[in-house]
A and B are shown apart, each in its own frame.
Chain A
């Protein structure tokens, strides 16, 4: 069964088996505004937890996406090159960024579950 966790950088990671799918949250896409460009990491790249490994660019700003856990990139969402608006329309669906083969699932323990993340967003006002 898939488990979804959230980071303080407003990323989500959905874990199925050894692979985690990563994207940004509804809150993050609202804050960014219209997304015009997404750069996803190359397949095979090894990333460390907390490493900047993707870029999301909106009409207002460009922001880094940090790896919520360590691992090796197994897939990037190539469709975002043509339809970056997917990130706004379906941030947790079609708008996913990349998939990681997780190096150490214990790293996910420090992340928030859905209820904790909702409380975190509320605390931001």
Chain B
């Protein structure tokens, strides 16, 4: 059978029914100036695969890529070494074709790795239950706020000035369309923010990040107590999941919901995605959790097996009353996360964390020794903020021109705020070397 759904005769018949002469007739409402002619100005005519490959390689060569330059950018997306075993495992046919299970019971392998993923997430975050993943950390954070609103039946979320600016934007967008109030605190570059006094009886949740966008490491135990005393929930966001190898888990601070960006483990930078969101909470809030959830059970013969459980929360059953319109998960990225974390093991993960902190400490020492550069952090994990004697954005451009990707000017994500104009965010992971740090320091000295 030929699989050609439309013949010319089919097209003619359909056009005659609606009284159009040609397919082009259907587009006549589009102004001629907005229509593409046969050729697009400035672009060559079609070319062979080899020519196209050459053309695009030349374009790509204009980029300064993290793998080929000294690289110190983090801000929510971190360059780590991902062992080649991860790629090999996730590309096995059994895994690669496994989308989120819609006929779950026959995909026991998929359910098992998701169950293991969930177990790892609860262990990392110090929480009681985790779902099978969200799209990413930022959308997961917005889902966490919606969940807190459902649980508390309140509609005001306090958003820390230490939360990643893009996460803040996503909460704002969600607030606008879901009709809740998001109170955004001003950018907290110094890490001194205290939201305890702002928590009141209308507050559904407080959203904080650890380490913060500016790198500060905090213990939110007292904030959690204040939230609970007021009947509010504490949401702790972690954008660098590797930090959990060293830092006190949010669950131990009393967090009610923990959301992490899981990209650092198993997943590359990939121009910003696809990433994987980790989402964990307390048992008592399980039924208000968004997303898919895998449970362990036994079959009729008493053998261990896995099922999708608590699906009555989900859209295909609960319709408009569902806890979320997410009916899927970031399956392949979650698999990469689980394979990588399994390869590391608990001791390996802790060592990786220690190495990250050691590298960042080394970088902080070197950079803050430069005249005019001030380190803003008393504490940090693998990323910190420095204040330069002049605006950071042109400095970063000048470094890039020298082939060095020397951090993120805060103004890039928080524009039009003079208080952050001179701030530069620098990250160093296990991939940083002296051979990268020394040129950065030398170039910074020249540029400043």
B-binding segment of A23-31, A57-65, A111-119: A57-65
Indicate whether B313 reaches chain A with its CB closer than 8 angstroms: yes
Interchain CB contact under 8 A, B312 and A57: yes
- Give the Cβ gap from B383 to chain A, nearest Cβ, in Å: 41
Indicate whether A39 reaches chain B with its CB closer than 8 angstroms: yes
Interchain CB contact under 8 A, B287 and A37: yes
Indicate whether B81 reaches chain A with its CB closer than 8 angstroms: no
Instruction: Give the CA-CA distance A39 to B312 in the complex, in Å.
Output: 13
Instruction: Give the CA-CA distance A57 to B312 in the complex, in Å.
Output: 7
Interchain CB contact under 8 A, B312 and A61: yes
Beta-carbon contacts under 8 Å, B290-338 to A: 312-313, 317-318, 321
Interface bracket on A: under 10
Main secondary structure of the interface of A (DSSP, over half): strand
What chain B residues lie within 8 Å of A62 (beta carbons)?
312-313, 317-318, 321
- Give the residue name and chain of the A residue nearest to B322 (CB): A62
Tally of B interface residues using CB under 8 Å: 6
What chain B residues lie within 8 Å of A55 (beta carbons)?
287
Beta-carbon contacts under 8 Å, B157-180 to A: none
Main secondary structure of the interface of B (DSSP, over half): helix
Beta-carbon contacts under 8 Å, A41-56 to B: 55
Which residue, of B312, B313, B317, B318, has the highest number of chain A Cβ atoms within 10 A?
B312
A86-111 vs B, CB cutoff 8 Å, 1 = contact: the mask equals: 00000000000000000000000000
Which residue, of A39, A57, A64, has the highest number of chain B Cβ atoms within 10 A?
A57
Beta-carbon contacts under 8 Å, A10-46 to B: 37, 39
Instruction: Give the CA-CA distance A62 to B343 in the complex, in Å.
Output: 40
Q: Choose among A37, A39, A61, A64 the residue that contacts B317 (Cβ–Cβ < 8 A).
A: A61
What chain B residues lie within 8 Å of A57 (beta carbons)?
287, 312
Instruction: Give the CA-CA distance A37 to B313 in the complex, in Å.
Output: 12
- Give the residue name and chain of the B residue nearest to A36 (CB): B312
- Give the residue name and chain of the B residue nearest to A64 (CB): B321
What chain A residues lie within 8 Å of B318 (beta carbons)?
62
Instruction: Give the CA-CA distance A57 to B323 in the complex, in Å.
Output: 14
What chain A residues lie within 8 Å of B317 (beta carbons)?
61-62
Which residue, of A37, A39, A55, A62, has the highest number of chain B Cβ atoms within 10 A?
A62
- Give the residue name and chain of the B residue nearest to A58 (CB): B312
- Give the Cβ gap from B24 to chain A, nearest Cβ, in Å: 50
What chain A residues lie within 8 Å of B287 (beta carbons)?
37, 39, 55, 57
- Give the Cβ gap from B286 to chain A, nearest Cβ, in Å: 10
- Give the residue name and chain of the A residue nearest to B314 (CB): A62
B67-85 vs A, CB cutoff 8 Å, 1 = contact: the mask equals: 0000000000000000000
Instruction: Give the CA-CA distance A64 to B313 in the complex, in Å.
Output: 12
What chain A residues lie within 8 Å of B312 (beta carbons)?
57, 61-62
Instruction: Give the CA-CA distance A98 to B312 in the complex, in Å.
Output: 22
Q: A55-B287, A62-B313 are in contact. List 6 more A-B contacts (CB 8 A).
A: A37-B287, A57-B287, A61-B312, A62-B312, A62-B318, A64-B321
Interface residues in chain A, defined as those with a beta carbon under 8 Å from any beta carbon in chain B: 37, 39, 55, 57, 61-62, 64
* 13 residue pairs A–B, Cβ–Cβ below 8 Å: A37-B287, A39-B287, A55-B287, A57-B287, A57-B312, A61-B312, A61-B317, A62-B312, A62-B313, A62-B317, A62-B318, A62-B321, A64-B321
